[in-house]
Amino acid sequence: MADRFSAAWARLPDYLVPHVLLSATALAIGVAIAVPLAVVATRSRALRWPLLAVAGMFQTVPSLALLALFYPLLLALSALSTQLIGRGFPALGFLPSVLALTLYAILPVLRNTVAGLEAVSADTREAALGVGMSRRQSLLQVELPIAAPLVLAGVRTSAVWVIGAATLATPVGQVSLGNYIFTGLQTENWVSVLFGCIAASALALIVDQLLGAVEAGLRKRDRRFVIAGLVALAAGTAAAGWPAAASAMAGPRYLVGAKTFGEQIILGRLLQDELQAHGLRADVRTGLGSSVILQALRADEIDAYVDYSGTIWTNAMGRRDNPGRKAVMDGVTDWLGRRYGVKVVGPLGFQNAYALAMREDRARALGVRTIADLTRVAPRLVIGGDYEFFGRPEWTSLERAYHLRFRAERQFASTFMYRALESGSVDVVSAFSSDGQISVDRLRVLRDPKGALPPYDALILVAPARAGDARLISALRPLVNALPVETMRRANGAVDGGHASAAEAAARLARGIAASERPRAGGPEVVTAAHAS
């Protein structure tokens, strides 16, 4: 507990700084858009309703979805811009996060500014014209200053929303305090989750109080409050911006990507450790959705990550056949290289395949050894899967191959799925062959006699721009065929069980690989033996 807290504390600057920069940027742009829009809305009856309605509509879109939707949009725009002017822009990370959060920031400021401007009395507005002001002078010298306290109240609301919603930027690849929450959820590290929540709330409270001081200053027309509040906010933002600016000047860093689940976080750290061991600067960006991570690699937004042969075979290539483990791996390597210039450095040596697993006692009682045996008993059983599983082609292909009709299908966050299996609320789960839980809970993994599920070898992929980067490739090469499935399961089990952090598990793997480096060197690599299927 204390260890986890100090580990979380140590990461605070890494997560807090981008969170502050992201929120401040989104808020600043939001205010810069909302105030002029409010002026337009109060000047023109015809535009008023549509403007408020559209701003309100953005507010009703769930934050996570809004953030996620910007990714494909930006990707398309980036492709268009590459076509038109020969230059694209990153579609992942800061940009989509800022855009989505900006949309969130607009409404409260827009609404309050409209209310503030409309609260300026007709007498006052006529007086402004009467003393000889132009419309513009009246707006800037009379109407906006009078509305200012209400505008600030809107900015406060926006700030609290934006700081809270910025935690959701993690899944689109922007580091934020949400990294505590998402990583913690994956690894059942509740200290980390709580730490992230409290840090985000504390930040929101502090900013709210400072903006509150500015608002009080405007209300009381006391410049000291206004200046003190603004200076504190600016100092905080500048302090957050300084290290980022400094590191941007320090030269290129490699960026390793990782998906949302525990094994990927361990592997992301492992790649980072390996690069650092070779004297290269490297960061990890965890929490990338499995649908965006390959696109990010193709677009050179991340430099390397680990994906699985079957994932690319079925999802990216759209293949439904299963020609065998070696053929799939070769096919994927060839296709990625030809189609996108993505380089496959090699397999890590284990598979993280979709598999169906049951509790040993339950499987024995029902006499189930293979998936084919499930056909008979499935109508009495409940199957649990992660959020993706039932939407994936693997499931369709399993259903079709074995005529599976379960009594019910339930979806879980993958950490809760095994709990449900243990408690008996589901009978069968969609497991992954490298899950630590399989060895911890001694689960029975059901064989797939018809080969309906494709193989899922973990492959190290390198972005097109880095495909010729000899230093990077040679730094990653020691990982090839260095991780047997049992080793990976142990590492996953240690993290899932809370015995080690992802960083510790990765460090342990790296030490093991370094130790076996010498004896393995030279000999031809052999694909590690099949997992427990």
Binding site for other proteins (CB under 8 A): 121, 123-124, 126-134, 137, 142, 145-146, 148, 221
- Kindly tell me which of 118 and 188 has the beta carbon lying closer to other proteins: 118
DSSP 345-405: EEEEEEE--EEEEEEHHHHHHHT--BHHHHHHHGGG-EEEE-TTGGGSHHHHHHHHHHT--
User: Smallest gap, in angstroms, from Cβ of residue 144 to other proteins?
Assistant: 10
Smallest separation (angstroms) from other proteins to the CB of 41? 22
E strand or H helix at 85: helix 63-85
Neighbours of 274 (CB within 10 A): 25
Structure tokens at 7: 């580990």
Q: In the complex with other proteins, which residue's Cβ is closer, 126 or 361?
A: 126
3-class DSSP assignment, residue 308: strand
Smallest distance, other proteins to C-beta of residue 216, A: 15
- Rank residues 138 and 157 by Cβ distance to other proteins and give the closer one: 138
Closer by beta carbon to other proteins, 129 or else 205: 129
- Those residues with Cβ within 8 angstroms of residue 16's Cβ, 6 or more apart along the chain or in another chain: 177, 199, 203, 240
Beta carbon nearer to other proteins, 230 or 507:
230
CA angle 259, 263, 267 (to 5 degrees): 80
| β-pair partners for 284 | 256
Which neighbouring-strand residues pair with 408?
382
Q: Judged by CB, which is closer to other proteins: 146, or 507?
A: 146
Supply the minimum distance, in Å, between the C-beta of residue 33 and other proteins: 24
Burial class (CB in 10 A: 0-12, 13-18, 19+), 249: exposed
Minimum CB distance to other proteins, residue 133 (Å): 6
Q: Which is nearer to other proteins, 76 or 129 (CB)?
A: 129
**Which sign does the torsion angle of CA 288, 292, 293, 295 carry?**
negative
Tell me the Cα Rg of the chain: 27
CB of 128 vs other proteins, minimal distance in Å: 7
Please say whether the beta carbons of 395 and 385 come within 8 A: yes
Q: How far is the CB of 118 from other proteins (least distance, A)?
A: 15
* Residue corresponding to tokens 């807290």: 5
| Cβ at position 221, least distance to other proteins in Å | 7
- CB 136 to other proteins: min, Å: 10
Rounded distance between C-alpha atoms, residue 206 and residue 503, angstroms: 31
Q: What is the side-by-side strand order in the sheet with 382-385?
A: 408-411, 382-385, 428-432, 354-359, 443-446
Compare residues 137 and 276 and give the one whose CB is closer to other proteins: 137
Nearer to other proteins, 134 or 474 (CB): 134
